[in-house]
């Protein structure tokens, strides 16, 4: 059985005091709820403060990016061991905003995924198609390609630690979510692609999230799907009540 994983991607929001307030608000209402794994993905500057607050709980911590080198002269970058040091369990890799605005490619996604695993951090690898690609009927081939390239060279023994987030770009921050059936189909294709690379048993252990305008009122539709094991939530994770209502769908 795959444990559902619901992660709140805060993007470039929340100062340290704001981060603490949000985490306290969520933890208060979360109680001992263990049915889903909850993960906070604050900006780098709030990782430490969030870690302090979630210590002793089963809530996980994720960064939103990392560099693939162990260390070096890379001004402004953060190395895997630095994130491990702060207690990160996960790191988001290849978010469409990083692909679109910061030159992330399938190749750098792959390097980062391997570097994260080598440091003992589970990558949450994002894949997704644009509206033009969807309308041109390229969704399946593109998602398969992104998945294969992201996972190239990863050890079979590591694959169960990987989380994939299917995030159609046209659904991110737009209020236009996909629907359960369409998202389930693409997540099934991702699982079949992983099975082609690593075998069916391995593929059955990988958790695949849906992301893109997930809200309290549509989370159940996605979580009811057999291939969807969680959600990567942006806007609706920035406020304790809406995030809790998603977690406890
Ligand atoms: P959204 O963002 O929930 O605000 O659409 C999702 C994401 O970018 O991970």
Give the residue extent of every domain in the chain: 35-66+77-212+225-230
Residue 176 has pLDDT above 90, yes or no: no
For ligand 1, the distance from its centroid to the CA atom of residue 128, given in whole angstroms, is: 12
| Ligand 1 contacts CB of residue 150 (under 6 A) | no
Q: Which residues contact residue 213 at a Cβ distance below 8 angstroms, ignoring those fewer than 6 apart?
A: 171, 172, 173, 174, 175, 176, 177, 235
Please state, for a pLDDT cut of 70, what percent of the chain lies above it.
100
| Ligand 1 contacts CB of residue 94 (under 6 A) | no
Looking at ligand 1, which residue's alpha carbon is closest to its atom 7?
Answer: 234
pLDDT at 4: 98
| Ligand 1 contacts CB of residue 41 (under 6 A) | no
Nearest of 15, 3, 54, 5 to residue 238 by alpha carbon: 15
Q: Which pLDDT tens digit goes with each residue over 224-244?
A: 999 999 999 999 999 999 999
In angstroms, the CA 147 to CA 21 distance is 36
pLDDT at 186: 98
Among residues 37, 104, 167, 221, which one is catalytic? 167
Confidence tier at 1 by pLDDT (50, 70, 90) = confident
Q: Which residues contact residue 247 at a Cβ distance below 8 angstroms, ignoring those fewer than 6 apart?
A: 6, 26, 30, 33, 36, 38
Confidence tier at 178 by pLDDT (50, 70, 90) = confident
Among residues 67, 95, 97, 129, which one is catalytic? 95
DSSP 176: -
Q: Which pLDDT tens digit goes with each residue over 38-74?
A: 999 999 999 999 999 999 999 999 999 999 999 999 9
Domain formed by 35-66+77-212+225-230, architecture:
Alpha-Beta Barrel (3.20)
pLDDT at 221: 97
Confidence tier at 158 by pLDDT (50, 70, 90) = very high
What spatial distance separates the first Cα and last Cα of the chain, rounded to whole Å? Answer: 19
Active site residue 37: no
In angstroms, the CA 179 to CA 133 distance is 17
In angstroms, the CA 28 to CA 157 distance is 37
Q: Are 6 and 233 in contact (CB under 8 A)?
A: yes
Active site residue 67: no
């Amino acid at each position: 059985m795959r444990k559902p994983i619901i992660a709140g991607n805060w993007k470039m929001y929340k100062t340290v005091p704001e981060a603490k307030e949000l985490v306290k608000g969520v933890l208060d209402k979360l109680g001992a709820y263990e049915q889903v794994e909850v993960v906070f993905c604050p900006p780098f500057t709030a990782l430490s403060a969030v870690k302090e607050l979630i210590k002793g709980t089963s809530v996980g911590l994720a960064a939103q990016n990392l560099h693939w080198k162990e260390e070096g002269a890379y001004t402004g970058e953060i190395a895997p061991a630095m994130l491990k040091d702060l207690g990160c369990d996960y790191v988001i890799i290849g978010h469409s905003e990083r692909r679109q605005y910061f030159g992330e490619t399938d190749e750098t996604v792959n390097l980062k995924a391997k570097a994260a695993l080598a440091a003992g951090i589970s990558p949450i690898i994002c894949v997704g198609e644009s509206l033009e690609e969807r309308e041109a009927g390229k969704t399946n081939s593109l998602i398969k390609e992104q998945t294969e390239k992201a996972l190239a060279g990863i050890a079979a023994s590591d694959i169960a630690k990987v989380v994939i987030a299917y995030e159609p770009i046209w659904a991110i921050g737009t209020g236009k979510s996909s629907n359960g059936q369409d998202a389930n189909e693409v997540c099934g294709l991702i699982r079949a692609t992983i099975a082609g690379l690593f075998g069916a048993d391995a593929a059955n252990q990988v958790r695949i999230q849906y992301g893109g305008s997930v809200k309290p009122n549509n989370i159940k539709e996605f979580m009811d799907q057999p291939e969807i094991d969680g959600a990567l939530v942006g806007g609706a994770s920035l406020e304790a009540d809406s995030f809790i209502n998603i977690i406890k769908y």
